[in-house]
Structure 1
Amino acid sequence: MNGAHWLVQALEAEGVDALFGYPGGTIMPFYDALHGASLKHVLVRHEQGAAFAANGYARASGRVGVCVATSGPGASNLVTGIADAMFDSVPMVVLTGQVPTFLMGTDAFQELDVFGMTLPIVKHSFLPRSVDELPRVFAEAFRIARSGRPGPVLIDLPKDVQMADASHLPVHSPLPVEPVPGPPDAALHEAAALVSQCRKPVVYAGGGVVLGDAVEAFREFVDLTGLPTVLTLKALGALPAGHPSNLGMLGMHGSRAANMAVQECDLLFVVGARFDDRATGKLAEFAPNARVVHLDGDGCEIGKLRAADVAVPGNLSQSLSRLAAPLAAQMEGRHAAARKAWRDTCLERRSRHAARYDAPGDKVYAPALLKRLSELAPNAVVACDVGQHQMWVAQHWRFNHPRQHLTSGSLGAMGFGLPAAMGAQMESPDAQVVCVSGDGSFMMNIQELATIRRYRLPVKIVLLDNSALGMVRQWQELFFEKRYSEIDLSDNPDFAEVARAFGIQALHVDKAANVDDALRALLAADGPTLLHVAIDTAANVWPLVPPNHNNAQMMDPDDAGTLDTGEPVPVQPPSASSASEEPNNALPA
């Protein structure tokens, strides 16, 4: 029993049933200990794939995802996936090999200070220098990853610690996670009093709803109060798409009904959201007439970007459950008529500005294809890459639960979709898992097709190919005077042939009339299958809130170059001083 064998048994004790990794020199003792263990190890083809797969596993299940790599380049290749987990609050434990303790600091082969390199993008890091530290370090790592606001934890394992005698160590016992404290009574009373005074209330819900296991409490709250509700990218599915109070996603590519409701409301009831720039647009003009009640399990988010008139920190389920009945009663009291008129206005806008799918011409219209696929696969888990297709999925897929929607929100990492789908499929082998990708994103981790084939993961891949970096091209069209710089992907390979070379069956569709048959064939196919979809290079995502504008100032093709306000759209590059206004291949969080 050496340190590596102890670690494997500890993983089993923590309930880990699958981990994703790639072996190498300094992590080799761990891989030796894996031989014959009950753990299912998935050999990816690049360490970034391991981090994103563990990420997808955790997002789909709510459990801790685990990835493994060796020192040096193996560890550094994990960094993007670790950062994505940190920014989207995904519970992960990352195991990396390290050179033996007696070589640390000598610039040894594949020595890298991964502990220091990842400090800004983890909840905590550990570098045990003795086998005796393993029980404390390992138990704390899993506890920290799960507790409070979830996130990634790194354990950097020197090779000699893995090889040291561990026969004297105790059997690993998982540590309990302390529950999030309940909300203060006084804050709940203040919140109820403020809501009673409003005429135009709106609920603004974010990813904290699912992180706090508050989806059911949130739905009951909205059902009882009937408050018009808008959702962030990460909250999609917190209310079913067809729910009568659901106005859709807000923000840069949000619905008109959602954005207009927020801009006109007099009370913003914020549940597990953080006023992210891609949701708020120009923050100084976001919900300008609204007073704010902010509920969040992470008290640090309250008041960070927008002052709250009433702060309600603590367990979201408890906060919502305790407020639901009193607020429902108040809805029938003072200002009831005004609130009903407001709700009617919001719902009328939702109907009037509903997406249309009758695009002219015979080419494939991506929004219509995605809407139809969501109808054919209503219970699918969708892992999405980053680009125009990410926003089309957010706008047109009808999600019934947030854990059906796996997307890189805050980091906006291209290459996320395929390995994340892989992780979700490993977590739930019988689930219908769909990866929606673009031709740019797909090439970033295309090697994971080999992993999907090896483990016979029945992931269905929808590849929307516009032969361009679509979102960057759209920004260059609108804000850089059509100076198209380095976005041409017209020399893409034949993706169907590439998939077949990996041993994965492939289909192709390029006509709108053939979309339904192609989607049915994709879903009926046995095993992993790719559907290559050729779409128009000039297709854009609408509506769009331009940089440095508020969410009421939306553009779409019908505006013919003007904003909703009638003002001309400024055709200028975004300010170089504001990083949040640059596309950077990232989209609204």
Structure 2
Amino acid sequence: MKKTGAEILVQSLLAEGVDTIFGYPGGMVLPIYDALYDADLRHILTRHEQGAAHAADGYARASGKPGVCLATSGPGATNLVTGIANAYMDSIPMVAITGQVVTSLLGKDSFQEADITGITLPITKHNYLVKDVQDLAQTLREAFYIARTGRPGPVLIDIPRDVSGGTADYADPGPARLPGYSVNTKPDPEQVARAVRAIEESERPVIYAGGGVINGGAHEELLRLAEILLAPVATTLMGLGGFPGNHPLSVGMLGMHGSKYANYAVSECDLLIGVGVRFDDRVTSKLEAFAPGATIIHIDIDPAEIGKNVGVDIPVVGDVRNSLQKIIECLQPRLESRWRDKIQNWKKEYPIEFVENGRLKPQEVIKEMYNVTRGEVRVVTDVGQHQMWAAHYYTYHRPRTFITSGGLGTMGFGFPAALGVQVACPDETVLCITGDGSFQMNSQELATVVHYNLPVKIGIINNGYLGMVRQWQELFYNRRYSYVEITGPDFVKLAESYGAVGIRVSKKSEVREAMEEAMRVPGPVVIDFPIEREENVLPFVPPGEPINKMLG
């Protein structure tokens, strides 16, 4: 039976288990939108294509399934670029579908033509320009397979209008046929044996866990390994929630904005077990001083990450869950650990804390958010100071409950991502913690959450500055605050103008009441928290310093 390319696209999406698309229509995707009119797929119309990309990203992070976004050619496609790059840096499975001019006009600078496959080549796991409708079904099958297997990532499919509007016989293409693409999920037994020997010989082990633990579904194995070794677990920003933050062995986040006790532990350990991590610069800082006396084990699905930034003594390439299981099978539980006791003393001596002065502090706001919600919500953040306060002062007990932009550090990510998380988790509460600068980058999505009655709760940590940039200008540029003071709208009135509920909090005693009221409201709520304007994120490792040399 013949189908149009657009109908084949819809059929292929359904075959991959897709239930939701985030998108924005335009001329070169009209055949696709016509097919969506009768399709058994939910389409969320965002108010900007960047919002669609971030929403698909958030959906993927919360659900573990590939998120899907759709945009037209030219500016529609290029507006997806930041969201695609964000997903690529954080290894998030996503399929971005773009319209393109008809094949006969390719390369002729046609109206709304952009070489989106060329533009996104460095920021996708793979991409396709489909020139024949006969290839469309197989392309969709391959794209989803690539996006979700191995180290996940975004895949882009560019579809000219004559392909989506053309016809072909449709049949299920069967399994993806990719002879040049293979994923090694099983670790080498000899490397596992070497890792086990190093673990058994260690006295001061530290586990350094990242987003790969969450992507790989290895949180239970991580917990088991830590309890067998009585080893402290330091997580990256992307790894928060992969290990229970309230567990005695948790030392929280490490690196530039990490806790003192996490950074001291890594600096003094004799064995560092990196699990699903990239050893990125925000963690390591001064490379030659990072874990200087430690043997390093690196467990990761992507062999390209092994040794890329830090020399590794024992590489274990494979699926992190499978790899941890193989290692755990060979270990005997430790009954006592003086190293663990030393870590606990550091936690008491160097707590994460702040100085109260009577004005509303962001740390107090985040702590009260946790007290009201007890960690039973999905937290999504933007990027900046509020992101670090959310990392330190809210405790995450389970995976996929802390969702943030890590590698790319994208301001404007949080609110549309929270929209996607809410779509993925309709029966859960989604709390978006954002800054006044970040929120204004995609505040138009208030129209989307109101239109679809998505009950996202948005807390704006409002200091009237681009806070993290201002902090750096304070510390390293003699308080020369160059173009970081920002003015914004009345956020309460802005929320109300879109049809959402707006609340303003001006003192600590009002925070709990505002949060409780927001939780009672069945729809979206915006809470404006005007905070102490020059509050800094501490501890803080200055650039180029070892991670055990912290300010604050």
Match in the other structure for 1:537: 533
| SS of structure 2 residue aligned to 1:328 | coil
Larger CA deviation: 432-441 vs 263-272: 263-272
Match in the other structure for 1:118: 120
Match in the other structure for 2:217: 213
Per-residue CA distance 1:125-145 (angstroms, 9 max, x = gap): 111111111122111011000
Per-residue CA distance 1:245-279 (angstroms, 9 max, x = gap): 11110011100110000011111111111111001
Match in the other structure for 1:194: 198
Is 1:405 equivalent to 2:402 in the alignment? yes
Is the 2:285–2:545 contact (alpha carbons within 8 Å) kept by the matching residues of 1? yes
Is 1:385 equivalent to 2:386 in the alignment? no
For residues 8 and 339 of structure 2, what CA distance do their matches in structure 1 show? 61
Is 1:93 equivalent to 2:89 in the alignment? no
For residues 73 and 420 of structure 1, what CA distance do their matches in structure 2 show? 21
Match in the other structure for 2:47: 45
| SS of structure 1 residue aligned to 2:315 | strand
Is the 2:138–2:176 contact (alpha carbons within 8 Å) kept by the matching residues of 1? no
Q: Does the C-alpha gap of structure 1 residues 172 and 372 become closer, same or farther in structure 2, counting only changes over 3 Å?
A: farther
Match in the other structure for 2:363: 367
For residues 347 and 231 of structure 1, what CA distance do their matches in structure 2 show? 17
Is 1:296 equivalent to 2:300 in the alignment? yes
Per-residue CA distance 1:547-586 (angstroms, 9 max, x = gap): 1101010001xxxxxxxxxxxxxxxxxxxxxxxxxxxxxx
| SS of structure 2 residue aligned to 1:247 | strand
Is the 1:468–1:537 contact (alpha carbons within 8 Å) kept by the matching residues of 2? yes
Is the 1:364–1:515 contact (alpha carbons within 8 Å) kept by the matching residues of 2? no
For residues 439 and 234 of structure 1, what CA distance do their matches in structure 2 show? 23
Determine which of 51, 66, 69 is the counterpart of 1:67: 69
For residues 378 and 174 of structure 2, what CA distance do their matches in structure 1 show? 32
Match in the other structure for 2:129: 127
Per-residue CA distance 1:509-560 (angstroms, 9 max, x = gap): 010122111111121222111111010111110010001101010001xxxx
Matches within 5 A, 1:35-434: 35-166=37-168, 168-171=169-172, 173=174, 175=176, 180-329=184-333, 331=334, 340-356=337-353, 359-377=355-373, 378-434=375-431
For residues 410 and 479 of structure 1, what CA distance do their matches in structure 2 show? 23
Larger CA deviation: 508-517 vs 248-257: 508-517
Larger CA deviation: 51-60 vs 348-357: 348-357
- Once the 2 structures are TM-superposed, how far is the Cα of residue 328 of structure 1 from its aligned partner? 3.2
For residues 202 and 46 of structure 1, what CA distance do their matches in structure 2 show? 43
Normalization by structure 2: what TM-score?
0.97
Per-residue CA distance 1:403-435 (angstroms, 9 max, x = gap): 011100000000001100000111111111011
For residues 129 and 345 of structure 2, what CA distance do their matches in structure 1 show? 58
Is the 1:66–1:95 contact (alpha carbons within 8 Å) kept by the matching residues of 2? yes
| Number of matched pairs | 546
Is 1:497 equivalent to 2:493 in the alignment? yes
Is the 1:10–1:172 contact (alpha carbons within 8 Å) kept by the matching residues of 2? no
- Once the 2 structures are TM-superposed, how far is the Cα of residue 322 of structure 1 from its aligned partner? 2.3
Match in the other structure for 1:568: none
- Once the 2 structures are TM-superposed, how far is the Cα of residue 356 of structure 1 from its aligned partner? 3.1
For residues 60 and 181 of structure 1, what CA distance do their matches in structure 2 show? 23
For residues 63 and 479 of structure 1, what CA distance do their matches in structure 2 show? 42
For residues 414 and 283 of structure 2, what CA distance do their matches in structure 1 show? 22
| SS of structure 2 residue aligned to 1:449 | helix
Partner letter of residue 514 of structure 2? A
- Once the 2 structures are TM-superposed, how far is the Cα of residue 504 of structure 1 from its aligned partner? 0.4
| SS of structure 2 residue aligned to 1:27 | helix
For residues 352 and 193 of structure 2, what CA distance do their matches in structure 1 show? 39
- Once the 2 structures are TM-superposed, how far is the Cα of residue 191 of structure 1 from its aligned partner? 1.1
Is 1:527 equivalent to 2:528 in the alignment? no
Is the 1:214–1:316 contact (alpha carbons within 8 Å) kept by the matching residues of 2? yes
**Percent sequence identity over matched residues?**
47
Partner letter of residue 478 of structure 2? E
Q: Does the C-alpha gap of structure 1 residues 391 and 153 become closer, same or farther in structure 2, counting only changes over 3 Å?
A: same
Partner letter of residue 15 of structure 1? G
| SS of structure 2 residue aligned to 1:93 | strand
- Once the 2 structures are TM-superposed, how far is the Cα of residue 146 of structure 1 from its aligned partner? 0.6
For residues 384 and 176 of structure 1, what CA distance do their matches in structure 2 show? 38
For residues 356 and 210 of structure 1, what CA distance do their matches in structure 2 show? 28
Is the 2:362–2:532 contact (alpha carbons within 8 Å) kept by the matching residues of 1? no
Q: Does the C-alpha gap of structure 1 residues 141 and 151 become closer, same or farther in structure 2, counting only changes over 3 Å?
A: same
Partner letter of residue 512 of structure 2? D
Larger CA deviation: 49-58 vs 212-221: 212-221
For residues 262 and 361 of structure 1, what CA distance do their matches in structure 2 show? 33
- Once the 2 structures are TM-superposed, how far is the Cα of residue 313 of structure 1 from its aligned partner? 1.1
Q: Which stretches in structure 2 are left out of the alignment for 5+ residues?
A: none
- Once the 2 structures are TM-superposed, how far is the Cα of residue 172 of structure 1 from its aligned partner? 5.4
For residues 414 and 399 of structure 2, what CA distance do their matches in structure 1 show? 16
Per-residue CA distance 1:112-164 (angstroms, 9 max, x = gap): 10010100000111111111111221110110001100000010000000111
For residues 33 and 516 of structure 1, what CA distance do their matches in structure 2 show? 47
Is the 1:13–1:174 contact (alpha carbons within 8 Å) kept by the matching residues of 2? no
For residues 432 and 455 of structure 2, what CA distance do their matches in structure 1 show? 11
Is the 1:369–1:515 contact (alpha carbons within 8 Å) kept by the matching residues of 2? yes
For residues 504 and 542 of structure 2, what CA distance do their matches in structure 1 show? 34
Per-residue CA distance 1:465-504 (angstroms, 9 max, x = gap): 0001000000000011111100011x31111101100000
| SS of structure 1 residue aligned to 2:540 | coil
Q: Which stretches in structure 1 are left out of the alignment for 5+ residues?
A: 557-589
Q: Does the C-alpha gap of structure 1 residues 398 and 225 become closer, same or farther in structure 2, counting only changes over 3 Å?
A: same
Matches within 5 A, 1:561-576: none
| SS of structure 2 residue aligned to 1:26 | helix
Match in the other structure for 1:438: 435
Is the 1:225–1:324 contact (alpha carbons within 8 Å) kept by the matching residues of 2? no
Partner letter of residue 159 of structure 2? L
Per-residue CA distance 1:355-407 (angstroms, 9 max, x = gap): 236x4333221112212212322221111001100000111111112301110
Normalization by structure 1: what TM-score?
0.91
Partner letter of residue 91 of structure 2? S
For residues 428 and 381 of structure 1, what CA distance do their matches in structure 2 show? 9
Per-residue CA distance 1:31-69 (angstroms, 9 max, x = gap): 011011110000010000000000000011110100000
Per-residue CA distance 1:277-298 (angstroms, 9 max, x = gap): 0011111211111111111121
Determine which of 489, 503, 506 is the counterpart of 1:507: 503
| SS of structure 2 residue aligned to 1:442 | helix
Matches within 5 A, 1:472-483: 472-483=469-480
- Once the 2 structures are TM-superposed, how far is the Cα of residue 175 of structure 1 from its aligned partner? 4.5
